[in-house]
Amino acid sequence: MINSVLRPWMWCVWVSFIISFSVPVSYAQSEPTQLSYLVESEQPLNLDKVMALPTSAWQTVADNEVSFGYTTQVHWFTAQFNAATHDRVLHIGYPLLDDLQLYFVRNGRVIAEQRLGDHQPYQQRPIDHKNFVVELPDQQALTVYMRVRTESSMRFSFQLWQPIEFHQQQQYLAAATALYFGLLLCMAVYNCFSFGVTRDVSFLNYAAYIVSIGLLLAGLDGTGYQYLWPDSPWLQDRIVTMIGSLVFIFATQVAAQVLRTRERSPNLHRALRIAQGVYAIIFSASLLFSYSTIIPYVLVAAVVGCMQLMLTGIILWRRGLNYARIYTLALGCLLFAISCNALGYLGWFDSIFIQRYAIMLASAIEIMLLSLVLAIRFNDDRRHRLLAEQRLNSELEQMVQQRTQELEQALEQLHVANVELDKKSKQDRLTGLFNRGYMDEELPREIRRAKRNGQDLTLMMLDIDHFKALNDEYGHLLGDAVLIKLAESLQNFTQRGGDRVFRYGGEEFAILMPGTDEAGARETAMRLAEVIRSMPIEHRAMQLHITVSIGIAVYYAATTEVTPEAFIGAADDALYRAKNAGRDQIRFARIEAPFQ
């Protein structure tokens, strides 16, 4: 069961998610802006002093994307907004900024101000969004000043939008983000279920690893502060360092279990345990020390940890562990993303979009590949267990080989008997024709086949005329001989491969003829009636002859619908009319609408 841990539909959904993040998103702004900045020196600045500074004191920000790395200095930013005929919102695209003070100024006077940051309770934000979004006070021209202080990386995008365009642009990223976290949740639940079925703790540790990855990305993306812990600025301030440490604690645990390092390489296993201890220390320190103090160690530990896990996979790969190749590829994807993220935080990489979502893409690929590794490892272990069981059972198999052969012979005889019994259950014992029970099975299938292929289908019902008088005058033995003789004639007359003859009951017979229309059925019935009239029946040195009444129902599959009961009822009604017309007659019932 677990060998299908990644069903084809899950692979399709993962690929859809990766493609959704791979499509470039338009960042066209509704109004061009030019962001400038200055760094506050040792002497603190207030708004009045900042406004009084000359233009030469400000430096421009390329593409309005700030990426200054880790710094404890306070930065001031400013931008001029022209008058417009529509409302506008300001989007500051980075959720981990600690403190933002926004001042909207016109003619040297502050007309509005707003304080934001993840050190503030989430409910104080003017607009419900994972990043910082503020509506401009009015549509007139104004200047915005922004004071930013943060222990995280000084990095964000600065964009001015019309509200409708902003929400349209955000819908795409919101959908992709929701898909990502939904997939992580599904994978975590699935692995918990797998643990419940197999009791293999590897699945439980992998589920914990997936959850920790999800919480880390929720903290980096701002989704966690928006939905999971909006009332806890303390947790938001430490979520990256805390959960980042947990991610690698569970990653090393998964690596040790999936790659079986305890059995395959005690030295590698010992190194993984030491790394776990280091991550546990960093986790404990993140509860006591500030974010700015711990984050450098977390970033270094993340890069070193990925390299260690990759090296572990490469070593075991070279030692012949086949699925270690996939494991190494998965860790390589994550290492690349973490390296991009770390370089971005340090200010060496200025593509905020790539930096923000590269780790999501890489973690999605990594989780997919690690799930595949876990499935392969589980199947490999199961195969080894089966081989061991086979070796242990080889002697027992030799002892019972003779009994097994006897059992196989008995099963073969039973199979032959079942086939013969099934054949007899479909046959009429007297005539050897198919019986009514088999006709009840075949007729619905033929109706469906006719409907699917658009072919006509004919059901012919035959009844021996005056059969009761024949029985009464000459006895039941002659009646049986008549039935057998008629059955042989019907079998010889129907030579087409698809035609089948049934003894419907008593002296009544049925012929099912696929692909036969009304004209063909009429011609066949006339020839059959003539054959039966001329058929001699020997009895005590004399010859007897019989006639039959025939009722025919034709189903035109291209234009009508019919049920098996209605089809039989129509043919039977035609037979009844043929007998009432004086017997030795042929009557038709064409199916033009469902028979009532």
Res. 340 pLDDT band, cuts 50 70 90: low
Element (DSSP H or E) covering residue 86:
none
Mean pLDDT, rounded, for 534-548: 85
How confident is the model over 474-481, as a mean pLDDT?
Answer: 87
What pLDDT was estimated at residue 24?
42
Amino acid 31 reads E
Out of 19-28, 362-371, 502-511, least confident range: 19-28
pLDDT band at 275 (very low <50, low <70, confident <90, very high): very high
Domains by residue range for the chain, with CATH? 7-22+175-386 (1.20.1070), 36-161 (2.60.40.2380), 430-591 (3.30.70.270)
Kindly indicate the confidence band of residue 75, based on its pLDDT and cuts at 50, 70 and 90.
very high
Name the least confident of 127-141, 205-219, 367-381, 566-580: 367-381
Q: Identify the pLDDT of residue 339.
A: 64
Average pLDDT over every residue of 94-106: 93
Q: Quick one: pLDDT at residue 35?
A: 93
Where residue 1 falls among pLDDT bands split at 50, 70, 90?
very low
Q: How confident is the model at residue 6 (pLDDT cuts 50, 70, 90)?
A: very low
pTM above 0.95, yes or no: no
Is the CA virtual torsion 110, 116, 117, 120 positive or negative? positive
- Please name the residue ranges forming H helices in 427-563: 436-453, 467-474, 476-493, 518-533
Is the model's pLDDT at 90 over the cut of 60? Answer: yes
Q: What 3-state class would DSSP assign to 184? A: helix
Q: Just list the catalytic residues.
A: 507
For the residues 185-190, what does the mean pLDDT come to? 85
pLDDT of residue 277 exceeding 90: yes
The mean predicted confidence, pLDDT, of the chain is 83
Statement: residue 355 has pLDDT above 70: no
Percent of the chain surpassing pLDDT 90: 33
- pLDDT tens per residue across span 29-70: 446 788 999 999 878 889 999 999 999 999 999 888 888 877
pLDDT tens-digit series, residues 8-24: 444 444 444 444 444 44
Least confident of 86-100, 257-271, 408-422, 430-444: 408-422
pLDDT 10s digits, 235-248:
888 888 899 899 88
